[in-house]
């Protein structure tokens, strides 16, 4: 049997770079089952733990980031890049890929450079409003740039023939039909008329947010307000004593769809994937960017979302129990504003991003969509 077209997916280091690649690859296979995705990642990134549990073949290489604060360690980056290049060349001799898809992070750079040097089409997905170093470096020769935030286009220099498409971030879309908010609240043991605030700092949690929320609970939540609070697994023990009839404390929300269905607003970090999910669910947000995020990209994400009217940008130095109380009370007192924020988030939603990106990728690679695909016809 002849092997189908092979596409390399390179990206990782963090979930924000790995999970979009997985979502796109799965959409590609649903559209064109003959395609064989193969993932390239770093031995030291999150992909080391995630990829072995997926359905995709993968190769983990000795890749390192640029050590900006400790430049004397960049010898590791050079040595790792050299060995990775050799490994990619050996793979290419066995089966030349049709394309290389980079989803960001240091795990993507070498694979994109190798693909470019060998005349293989390269494609980039940039989740953030402020593009990362890898995207900026390879935008000029890419066949397509897929943007999570349309604002990213102003900070990139694509090539003359590069297709630039703001198709969003690949996420797990809300189910159809959705669970009614009242039913979702009942499942959490909350009153049907509660004003539900979802608090999440991601899988690791956000200590600054957790501390401010704990202080807010201690001073007294506004009447009718209930919390669904994801503390992060490593921080849960410090806050589990705040669990009550009105405050549901969990180390991690999985599936988080149950919380999204119940939420009126969210207090969250400003990662691209989190914002994409909030937009898909139409949940207004108070966004508290991680100050130490690379190139401060979360601040750019928060600003862009706030300018659209869907969120409140709250810098971490301004975060406090009093400020959270003020912001939530203001939204409670202004249903029209809250409704407008909900609409603004929905207008930025791209729940079908994975499918749209996969369809574009296959078209540019001249790979036909299978007639029996669930996405056929367009």
Q: Name the residue ranges covered by the structural domains of the chain.
A: 6-171+352-364, 181-347
374: confidence class by pLDDT, cuts 50, 70, 90: low
Q: What does the CA dihedral 113, 117, 123, 127 come to, rounded to 10 degrees? A: 10
**CATH classification of 6-171+352-364 is 1.10.3720.10, yes or no?**
no
Give me 17's structure tokens. 């770079």
Evaluate the CA torsion angle 78, 84, 85, 87 in order and state its sign: positive
Q: Are 308 and 282 in contact (CB under 8 A)?
A: no
At 81 the pLDDT is: 75
Whether the predicted pLDDT of 375 surpasses 70: no
Distance CA 288, CA 269 (A): 5
SS3 117: helix
Q: How many CB atoms lie within 10 A of CB 189?
A: 10
Q: pLDDT confidence of 337, banded at 50, 70, 90?
A: very high
Q: Tell me, what's the pLDDT at 202?
A: 76
Q: How far apart are CA 242 and CA 301, in angstroms?
A: 31
d(C-alpha 236, C-alpha 229), whole Å: 10
pLDDT tens digits, 54-64: 899 999 888 77
Instruction: Return d(Cα 169, Cα 304) in angstroms, integer.
Output: 15
Tens-place pLDDT, residues 159-193:
999 999 999 999 988 988 889 999 999 999 999 99
Beta carbons of 159 and 121 less than 8 angstroms apart:
no
Tokens found for residue 217: 């609970």
CA atoms 130, 287, 312, 305: torsion sign = positive
What CATH topology corresponds to 181-347?
A: Rossmann fold (3.40.50)
Q: Which two tokens stand for residue 176?
A: 């159809």
- Retrieve residue 214's tokens: 């704990």
Q: What pLDDT is stored for residue 1 in this prediction? A: 42
């Amino acid at each position: 049997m002849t092997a189908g077209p092979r596409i390399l997916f390179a990206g990782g280091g963090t979930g924000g770079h790995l999970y979009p690649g997985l979502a796109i690859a799965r959409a590609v296979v649903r559209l064109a089952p003959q395609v064989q995705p193969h993932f390239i990642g770093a031995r030291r990134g999150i992909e080391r733990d995630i990829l072995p549990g997926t359905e995709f073949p993968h190769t983990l290489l000795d890749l390192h980031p640029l050590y900006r604060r400790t430049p004397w360690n960049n010898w590791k980056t050079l040595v790792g890049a050299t060995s990775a290049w050799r490994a990619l060349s050996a793979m290419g001799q066995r089966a030349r890929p049709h394309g290389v898809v980079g989803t960001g992070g240091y795990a993507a750079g070498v694979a994109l450079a190798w693909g470019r040097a060998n005349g293989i089409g390269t494609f980039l997905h940039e989740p953030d409003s402020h593009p990362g170093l890898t995207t900026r470096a390879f935008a000029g020769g890419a066949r397509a740039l897929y943007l999570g935030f349309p604002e990213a286009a102003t900070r990139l220099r694509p090539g003359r023939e590069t297709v630039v498409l703001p198709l969003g971030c690949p996420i797990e879309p809300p189910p159809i039909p959705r669970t009614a908010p009242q039913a979702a609240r009942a499942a959490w043991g909350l009153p049907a008329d509660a004003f539900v605030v979802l608090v999440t700092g991601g899988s690791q949690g956000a200590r600054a947010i957790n501390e401010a929320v704990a202080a807010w609970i201690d001073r007294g939540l506004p009447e009718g307000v209930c919390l669904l609070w994801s503390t992060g697994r490593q921080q849960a023990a410090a806050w589990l004593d705040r669990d009550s009839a009105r405050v549901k404390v969990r180390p991690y929300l999985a599936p988080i769809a149950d919380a999204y269905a119940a939420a009126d607003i969210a207090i969250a970090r400003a990662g691209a994937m989190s914002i994409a999910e909030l937009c898909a669910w139409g949940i207004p947000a108070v966004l508290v960017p991680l100050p130490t995020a690379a190139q401060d990209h979360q601040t750019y994400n928060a600003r862009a979302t706030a300018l659209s009217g869907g969120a409140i940008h709250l810098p971490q130095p301004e975060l406090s129990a009093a400020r959270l109380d003020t912001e939530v009370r203001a939204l409670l007192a202004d249903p029209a504003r809250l409704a407008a924020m909900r609409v603004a988030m929905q207008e930025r939603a791209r729940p079908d991003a994975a499918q749209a990106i996969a369809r574009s990728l296959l078209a540019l690679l001249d790979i036909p969509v299978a007639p029996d695909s669930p996405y056929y016809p367009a």
